[in-house]
Amino acid sequence: MIAKAYEEGYSKELTLLIKNGIIVKRYNYIDKDICKIYECLDLSKTGLLLPGFIDIHVHLRGLELSYKEDEESGTKAAIHGGFTAVIDMPNTIPRIDNMYALKLKLEALKKRSYVDFGLYVSPARNEEELEQMLLEEGVIGVKIFPQDLNQIGKVVKTMKKVSNRIKKIIIVHAENPLMLEDCEAGRRWVCRPIESEVSVLNKLKMFADREIHIHITHVTNILTLSLAKHYGFTVDTCPHYIYMDADYEKDMKCIAKVNPPLRLYTTRTILSDHLNLFDAISSDHAPHSLDEKNRDFSDCPPGITSLDIMGSLVLNMVSKNLIKLGDVVKLVSRGPANILGIHRWGCLYEGCIASYTIVDLDKEVYVDPQYFFSKAKFTPYKSIRLRGAVKATIVRGFLAYIEESIVEKINPLPITLFQRDDVCL
């Protein structure tokens, strides 16, 4: 592969020899003669090559919720958005809290995904089954939704049993269900207050342990961020907490309804000024049918769709001077890889996994959801312009997507394979 790559703050021309998805040789210059010897992918004029983006929080739906999204449509949206791997959530039907449902979901991901994948599970009915689920290839860890908080002790106990064998994560939706009520559009920040997030963190601090990795997802404010980092947890936020506030919820109603809710303008402004303190940015891509989103506000399901434009949403933060290009690499590639325990992802040396995202920092993207690969053809970002485009997505050396077209369906692999340096792909 020939490319102009971003590395350690500089743009460099490189030639990379890739075998079985791994870099086996690197040249610090462009050598087009090598294309006479090997099958050659010349991307030097396409854009700037970055380490492959990873989204650690998506809802691909599937199974009995395939009318909303499925593993194929959701992962096509992922490569459109520049993502080389995604980690799926377990709140499907059936819920992924037992071995039978887990096997169904993993099989669907293996057959239909266009990117490498992982999966969180929900707490199982007993510790033995949860332990069995955690040892399945592809399972990243356990997702704790608000209704699962009373099971955190059981989950931590089980997690400690497997932590000496392989890295697993407890990823937490930090809202205390005892502090949540319903409110009209534009006022949900009152009925789902910041205090509900802080309350969960204060409960989790007793489980802070070097053996257990607790990650707090879709954080909405600087107080939750600061307290989570103080307790030693890793933390992510989502673009909608940076681009939108409660006024958007008031105007757009269900299209901008999400949990945790959009907060005040001042809250999002302060959060935007501290993005470099986060360990990752995730999409929390949560598709529903348009009929569901057209229900009355009190009855419509929460969730924002953004996976198709996620890369541009993050790149646009560079043009808005919220972050630097190096922060993009940290927040959507290296940071997620570190959280997942993958140390060879998207680097540019021999032995690195050759998954990359190629971007054009200056190209403007007009958001038109009718061109989404996702089944959810609506978004609160409709008709805005974003500076920064995903030009191509490379998954383990294969060109999966380029210039608005899907090129090739790779043979997707469970991302847990990459946690072990001794595994040959």
Is residue 140 a contact partner of residue 168, using CB atoms and an 8 Å limit?
A: yes
The residue-averaged pLDDT of 141-154 equals 96
**CA separation for the pair 142, 121 (Å, rounded):** 5
pLDDT at residue 425 tops 60: no
In a domain, 3, yes or no: no
pLDDT in tens, 284-341: 999 999 999 999 999 999 999 999 999 999 999 999 999 999 999 999 999 999 999 9
pLDDT at residue 375 tops 80: yes
pLDDT in tens, 184-208: 999 999 999 999 999 999 999 999 8
Q: Which band of pLDDT confidence, cut at 50, 70 and 90, is reported for residue 259?
A: very high
Q: Which band of pLDDT confidence, cut at 50, 70 and 90, is reported for residue 422?
A: low
Q: Residue 253 sits in which domain range?
A: 48-406
In a domain, 115, yes or no: yes
Specify the pLDDT at position 164.
76
Q: How far is CA 377 from the centre of its chain?
A: 19
The residue-averaged pLDDT of 251-263 equals 98
pLDDT at residue 420 tops 90: no
pLDDT at residue 424 tops 60: no
Phi, psi of 198 (to 5 degrees): -60, -40
Q: How many CB atoms are closer than 10 A to CB 150?
A: 11
pLDDT in tens, 202-244: 999 999 887 899 999 999 999 999 999 999 999 999 999 999 9
Specify the pLDDT at position 33.
80
Specify the pLDDT at position 125.
87
| Residue 131 three-state SS | helix
Least confident of 27-36, 385-394, 407-416: 27-36
DSSP state of 422: T
**CA separation for the pair 74, 113 (Å, rounded):** 8
Half-sphere exposure of 369 (CA within 13 A, CB side): 17
Q: Which band of pLDDT confidence, cut at 50, 70 and 90, is reported for residue 9?
A: confident
**CATH code of residue 274:** 3.20.20.140
Q: Which of 70, 148, 245, 284 is catalytic?
A: 284
Specify the pLDDT at position 65.
98
| Residue 370 three-state SS | helix
Q: Which residue, among 228, 182, 224, 223, has the nearest Cα to 208 in the 3D structure?
A: 228
In a domain, 4, yes or no: no
pLDDT at residue 47 tops 70: yes
In a domain, 336, yes or no: yes
Q: How many domains does the chain have?
A: 1
Specify the pLDDT at position 72.
98
In a domain, 390, yes or no: yes
Q: Which residue, among 17, 5, 81, has the nearest Cα to 43 in the 3D structure?
A: 5
Specify the pLDDT at position 8.
83
Q: How do beta strands 22-27 and 10-19 pair?
A: antiparallel
In a domain, 422, yes or no: no
284 is catalytic: yes
In a domain, 5, yes or no: no
Single pTM value for the model: 0.96
In a domain, 424, yes or no: no
Mean predicted lDDT score pLDDT of the chain: 95
